[in-house]
Copies of this chain bind each other. A is one copy, B any other.
Amino acid sequence: MTPKKNNAALIRVAIADDHPLVINGLHHILANSADMEVIASYTNGRELLKGLTAQQPDVLLLDIQMPGQTGDELAEIISAQYPTVRMLALTNQDNVYYIKNMLRKGVHGYILKTTREDILLEAIRVLYQGGQYLEASLKEKVLQDTLQAKKQTAATPVLSRREKEVLQLIAQNLTSQQIADQLFLSKRTVDNHRLSLLMKLGAKNAAAMVKTAIQLGLIG
């Protein structure tokens, strides 16, 4: 075991995972790293949140599949409560949806449990220095997912010019009357466009319509 340096602050790491074996394994890996120390470990969300009130690590290794609270709920809470704690999501789940969700919830890095030790250590260091860390393979996946957003757009209904205009304005907080004024049209005309839009987008009210339109990329 590498002796700890005394002339530099160690990276204080905490571990949250419901499998004691995993905690043990991580403990050993980190213990062999000269610039880190494990200051706590927790096996469920409640313990974790309670523990954080007492002491905050620099970097928190967070399993997203723990019993009770899910990882993304925890990430959200911790991100809001302890913004200085850097979170590294540690999981088996390589689904792009989960990755994006966790990043949205405030996690700063995301690596798989199958990751090599040196990469794990590297990720912790990057996070400690204020960076983000995504494994190369995950980066590629997230990127591809973003690029392929187009594929879902394939079944987009055909909207006329006017309909698109009206749709934009509906999504911008305007009533039919206001839209009519802005486009120099009768309110009834705008109402007709509204109804066409509802039909074409398969919605029963403006709220659902806007949601669908955004998902289809019709409006930003």
Tell which of B100, B132, B214 touches A214, judged by Cβ atoms closer than 8 Å. Answer: B214
Asked if B150 and A143 sit within 8 Å, CB to CB, the answer is no
Q: Kindly supply a per-residue 1/0 record for chain A positions 123-156, scoring 1 wherever the CB is within 8 Å of any chain B CB and 0 otherwise.
A: 0000000001010000100110011011001000
Asked if B150 and A104 sit within 8 Å, CB to CB, the answer is yes
Interface centre among A104, A153, A172 (most CB of B within 10 A): A104
A208 within 8 A of partner (CB) = yes
| A interface residue count range (under 10 / 10 to 19 / 20 to 34 / 35 or more) | 20 to 34
Tell which of B203, B205, B209 touches A175, judged by Cβ atoms closer than 8 Å. Answer: B205
Asked if B139 and A143 sit within 8 Å, CB to CB, the answer is yes
C-alpha gap A149/B103 in the complex (Å): 8
* Contacting residues, chain B, for A132 (C-beta < 8 A): 147
C-alpha gap A205/B171 in the complex (Å): 9
Asked if A208 and B171 sit within 8 Å, CB to CB, the answer is yes
C-alpha gap A66/B34 in the complex (Å): 58
Interface centre among A132, A142, A206, A210 (most CB of B within 10 A): A210
* Contacting residues, chain B, for A153 (C-beta < 8 A): 104, 106
Pairs A–B under 8 Å by Cβ, sample size 23: A103-B149, A104-B150, A104-B153, A104-B217, A105-B150, A106-B153, A139-B143, A142-B143, A146-B146, A171-B207, A172-B208, A173-B204, A173-B207, A173-B208, A175-B204, A205-B206, A206-B206, A207-B207, A207-B210, A208-B210, A210-B210, A211-B214, A214-B214
Given A105-B150, A206-B207, 9 other A-B residues pairs in contact with their CB atoms under 8 A:
A100-B146, A100-B149, A103-B149, A103-B150, A142-B146, A173-B208, A205-B206, A206-B206, A210-B211
